[in-house]
Amino acid sequence: MVSAAHRTLDCRDRLCPGPVVEVSKAMRTLGLNEVLEVLATDPGFVPDIQAFSKRTGHALLAVESLDDGFRALIRRGQ
């Protein structure tokens, strides 16, 4: 799994759509091709972040299940 992230966003213990709203805000602060690491616990986060990435053109590099939730890496697109 890709591990280099330019920024980490901790959305653990937040319910959807909160994490995706925060991801959307955070992506605007990144430069083109920079990577955001997102930590989340809501099971709805996985399908939501997949849909968000598809809709916005950002690349979902990886989604990993952790003992305490999920970790996603998203590269900023156009």
Catalytic residue selected from 6, 12, 16, 69: 16
- Structure tokens that stand for 18 in this block: 């909160």
DSSP string for 24-73: HHHHTTSPTT-EEEEEE--TTHHHHHHHHHHHHT-EEEEEEEETTEEEEE
> Catalytic annotation on 16?
yes
Q: Which residues are catalytic?
A: 16
